[in-house]
């Protein structure tokens, strides 16, 4: 084989290798996709001209072997004035357990809202008008259970909740335990892996006695109340 042909082949291989690296890098850094404020509601009135909301990805993916997943939690000020000091809470319920939130502090077990299993508090000195701030959330999801997440936005002392998204579910109607990963959709109740069950997987004393419909209604009622444990703590 001539040296010219060998150089041509080597150059082609190098180009192909470089292209593959570029494609992989682009895929690895690809955007998570659309974000949504589904399940969000105003609780306490925010300061004048401050409009605080949160966003969650419409779709996440759970590794079926490790149960690990990653979620982006975003807080946004859609108003015309700066927010001042606020805090974002990231709280997990049932099969969804929050393991860590970048730059945030873990909430002590005794301070968690009733029914939750984990949570982190993210202090924000100020969120300028029209700006948003995103946090990388490490979590696990037990696909044999339902899983919900909640994002309250509060004042710095935690006495007022300006906005609360959730508890809103992530889930799949047909989990595939044999696949490498399971995609979950925001606003979808996760179906247990075992078919034909008319009761939620057991996750605690309350779950032992509540049928599926009543359990879902209880969570919605708790979410609609909105104030959680914050007002109880402010009154204590």
Per-residue pLDDT reduced to its tens digit, 130-172: 999 999 999 999 999 999 999 999 999 999 999 999 999 999 9
Tell me, what DSSP letter sits at residue 31?
-
- What percentage of the chain reaches a pLDDT higher than 70? 67
Residue 3 in 3-state DSSP?
helix
Q: Of 173, 172, 194, give the one whose Cα is nearest residue 183.
A: 172
The three-point CA angle 75-76-82 to 5° equals: 120
Cα–Cα distance between 21 and 70 in angstroms, integer?
24
pLDDT for res 177 = 72
* pLDDT tens sequence across 93-127: 999 999 999 999 999 999 999 999 999 999 999 99
Q: State percent of the chain over pLDDT 90.
A: 64
- The 10s digit of each residue's pLDDT in 78-89 is 999 999 999 999
In angstroms, the CA 26 to CA 112 distance is 39
Contacts of 154 (CB under 8 A, 6+ apart): 86, 87, 89, 160, 161, 162, 230
- pLDDT band per the 50, 70, 90 thresholds, residue 184: very high
Q: Is the pLDDT of residue 194 over 50?
A: yes
Specify the DSSP class assigned to residue 110.
G
pLDDT-based confidence at 12, cuts 50/70/90? very low
Residue 219 has pLDDT above 70, yes or no: no
Domains of the chain, each with CATH number or no CATH = 34-235 (2.60.40.10)
Please report the pLDDT score of residue 32 as a whole number: 55
19 pLDDT more than 60? no
Other C-beta atoms closer than 10 Å to the C-beta of 141 total: 27
In sequence order, what are the residues at sequence separation of 6 or more whose Cβ sits closer than 8 angstroms to the Cβ of residue 23? none
Residue 193 banded pLDDT, cuts 50, 70, 90 = low
For 203, phi then psi, to 5°, come to: -125, 10
């Amino acid at each position: 084989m001539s040296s010219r042909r060998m150089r041509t082949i080597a150059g082609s291989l190098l180009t192909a290798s470089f292209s593959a690296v570029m494609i992989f890098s682009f895929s690895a850094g690809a955007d998570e996709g659309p974000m949504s404020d589904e399940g969000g509601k105003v609780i306490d009135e925010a300061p004048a001209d401050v409009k605080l909301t949160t966003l969650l990805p419409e779709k996440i993916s759970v590794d079926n072997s490790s149960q690990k997943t990653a979620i982006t939690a975003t807080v946004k000020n859609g108003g015309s004035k700066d927010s001042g000091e606020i805090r974002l809470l990231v709280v997990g319920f049932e099969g969804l357990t929050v393991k860590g939130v970048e730059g945030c502090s873990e909430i002590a077990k005794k301070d968690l809202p009733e029914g939750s299993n984990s949570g982190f508090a993210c202090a924000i000195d100020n969120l300028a008008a029209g700006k948003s701030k995103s946090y990388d959330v490490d979590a696990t999801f037990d696909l044999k259970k339902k899983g919900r997440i909640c994002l309250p936005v509060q004042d710095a002392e935690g006495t007022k909740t300006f906005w609360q998204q959730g508890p809103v579910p992530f889930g799949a109607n047909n989990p595939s335990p044999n696949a490498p990963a399971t995609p979950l959709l925001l606003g979808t109740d996760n179906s247990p892996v075992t078919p034909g069950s008319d009761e939620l997987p057991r996750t605690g004393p309350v779950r032992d006695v509540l049928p599926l419909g009543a359990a879902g209604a209880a969570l919605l009622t708790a979410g609609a109340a909105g104030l959680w444990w914050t007002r109880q703590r402010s009154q204590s």
